[in-house]
Structure 1
Amino acid sequence: MPAARFQEEVEINSLEEIDQVNAEAWVMRRSDPRRLIGLALIARDKSLEKGYKKGLAYSYRSTGVAYLTMGQYQLALPDLLKSKAYFLELNDYKGASSALRNIGNIYTQLSVFEKAEHYYLVAVEYAEKSRDSKAITYVRTNLGLIEQLKGNYMKAISIMEGSLLAMRENGDEYAVSEILFNIGNNYLSANDIDSAKKYLDEALEIANKLNYLKGIAQSYVTLGQLYFKTGFNDKALNLMKHGVASALELNEKRIAAETYKLLSKVHKKMGNLVKALECMEMHDEMKSKLQLSDTKSLLDSLQGEIDLEKSEKKTLENKNKELEFAYAVIKDKNKDITDSIKYARHIQNALLPPADFLNNYINDYFIFYQSKEIVSGDLYWFNQRNGLVYFAVIDCTGHGVPGAFISIVAHNTLEQTFRELTEGTNAADFVNRSAQLFNEYIRQTYEDST
């Protein structure tokens, strides 16, 4: 088993080393998907051991894409769904976009275009959130592929030409090779042989340079189709044999199955009926297994989505319960605080002169006292001595609790000043003494108060 072999070679002791192994694995997604799986599984084991969600997200994405490359959709789908879930937990929209795009690729290959388009559009949404222009280009290419599979060849070419230009500028040769192949395939379907050959030749050249086995296989096979269409049967046969060999080396049974069907037609055209029958039998056997696998993939994907939806619903329910509990705690604390402030209001009101006291000394008056908050930063004060009435209306700095504290200090200041009154004290002396006492109470200098 590949994972066991690579476990002997790779030692991981830190989260940084997990990231490094995942990065090394990802580079191999097109050139060596089997080795990728081995490395990614090592990173996954260590991530599980350390509870490292980022490591799990990238590991599942890597294995999902590797299985997709090899046409093993029933293995690819659950891994990509798990990858998407971990990326979203981490608020990594770029990673989530990548996982969703590859899920869309699976549904495209299964010809479930409506679901493919759904995943592509969500992938674009996340790519835009993360400002990942390269990912947006990838998804647009995939949408072009859907148009191709629907038979809208020129529309597909138009979409892909824009993607090709962007990928050339980005220097992504794997993507360039893939898009060149798709454009060439569209031209071949539209019977534009010259344009098809031009794009397919360049796609094969780049794939060979990169040792991109899937690109090599599909380019050989499609060039073989081109030569078969134009009557060059020997050339077609040779190219298709190379193509099926590359596909089998990669374990890309889907490409291999379609190639055997094409080889059957070529052999029949050349009069090799026994070979034609053998190739058709190979095609039928592979196709039958693939159909069973595709059905299982669809069922697995649906079950995966149902399980994920249940998990997300459960998570949401738990979060709602946590919010309800937090709200209840805050509500209780708020009630305690409010009750305390209301009690403080009673204390503050008790400091105000009562109406029956005022009525003994003043006949024609009214009081309008309305605090902005529960407690007030304003107050009125009244007292009398020897037939003289003393009153003050005070606006303290601040509202609510801070203002209320200041108002109590102000009240105490007035009371003490009143107690110190001597014969002949005028209003100015009263105010100055009150200010002096107030500053002493709050330890504030005259300069601070100006």
Structure 2
Amino acid sequence: MRNFFNAPNLFLICFMLITGIPSQGQDAKVQEFQKQLETALENHNYGKASFLSYEIAKIFVSRNDVSNAIKYFSQSASYGNKGEEPMLVYLAYQRLGVTYMDRKNNSKALHSFQKALKVAREMGKKEFISDGLIDVAVNYALLNRHKRSIGHLEEALALAIQIENEPMERTCCELLAEYHQLLGNDHKAVEYTAMIDKINDQKISEQKSGEQLKELAEKVEEADAEIDKTNSLLNRQSQELRRAEDNLLAVKYSLEATEGLLKSKEDSLSTAREISKNQRLQIDLLNKDKAISEMQIKEQEARLEHAAMVRNFIILAVLLAGSLVFVLIASYRKKIEANKEIDRKNQKINSSINYAKRIQEAMLHTSDLRDDLIPDSFILFRPRDTVSGDFYFISEIKSWYDPDVVIAAVDCTGHGIPGAFMSMIGMNSLNQIISQGEAHSDQILTTLNKTVNAALQQEATGNKDGMDVALCIYRKEKGIIEFSGAKNPLVYVQNNELFQIKGDVHPIGGLRKSKKKGDLKKTFKKHIVQIDQPTMIYLFSDGYQDQFGGEEGAKFMSKRFKKLLLEIHQKPVSDQKRILEETLEAWKGQTKQTDDILVMGIRLDNTMET
């Protein structure tokens, strides 16, 4: 099918979308568009039909004819889907949502905005996706479903940060602060209010930087003026030297004339010697005067040569000094600009990493949720860098009585920013899997593996990144724990005896080929632990036991780690966390932290329930 958005039609679309249609002659324009719509449908030109329906709907909106506007916006979306014109489909659903909002029909508005968001995701346009997430979040809020709003706003904020859209960042933070305040999450409201202040402060800082650059430019201009002044002084001195040279030449010419005169006198004296011996003394005297004059001339020439050497030396020294000053000033300017550029880049990088840390911390579950679901527990979470490739996950699966609790400790490939990206994929995937109703530990890991494979396109790209997971489901009503592991184990202590259940040998993500070519085959086992007595369970990544330290600079190792857990398992959970931290610091000493560290400890005791 021919695409309706060729160059002439695209120009017409942009012009009409921007300018609209004048109020005069709207009835005639609607009739004309409807005839063109019939022709387009007869020719199966659904792209043009979608555009014409959209324009007719806009006219009805301007006339407050809401029913017809809704009808034609809906037609525009339908025809756009047939004609494979996602931009028109997105615009139709978006305007349809706005129209329903004007009629206070927030449920239908939400449904339309969700469709627009879906199309934006298919197009991959981050700015449209962020706008769509905000529209959906606002409508959830209008329906008093503020918790649903927050998730969409957090995703919109992350996209706004990626595309560096400052107004959109500010809007997301303002709405998040408002909705957290309504939900009673005062500390989160304060956190997002602080983020708004930081965005404003950053803008003020950029303005100040501009003023400082202007002041530096003025100082550079003053330095240039001083250089010009110095050059002018050097020019004047050079002119004076040239005048001195001219004077010396004049003296030389005068001496040459004197020499000619003396020679003439000598000739006269020779003639006179034959005439009179009495004049011989006068001739001898004149000869002596001549010798003296010659000596004076030689001395004068020597002085002229010396003066010329001094003059040339001074000129050369001045030129060298000027060149050196020019090079030093240019080098100094370049060094200042390079240092400023490095500082700006470092500040921007550090700001982005700290922002990523706040986003990651916001996505990790809060202590309030942990206190509600597993109150007698601790989490030791220590990223190696600002952001972490390890993360912990706590969620609930609704049941008739007490909810079942999903607990996971996850170690993603890498650490720092690459690990943080993987952790974002893992958190979002687990939330989606739990919300879709997966309720068994082995099924959750199997679905998570497929989700990671799809998200990283690993079958096509050969990407091998993934994550090691230890995941439990605590079923309080049944008094059991379900456990499944991807490489990471479950450690638990009952009756002063430590037990370990190993995870499966393959991780989440990466490719595992079966004998049949192209067949992905990766499953996980489900293990059951009875909680019929006081039990302490531990989930962890490999960061703690892989930490280098001690007197010989060796790893802490799994054996020493499990021995420590057995020694402290009966202590209160707060004391267990403190002991683990103190032991780690003593072992590590001056050695740098090797990897991200995560240890979770949960005390379960169904025997105390009545």
**TM bucket by the smaller chain?**
0.3 to 0.5
- Which structure is higher in strand share? 2
* TM-score, normalised with respect to structure 2: 0.26
* TM-score, normalised with respect to structure 1: 0.34
* Pair member with larger Rg: 2
- Which structure is higher in helix share? 1
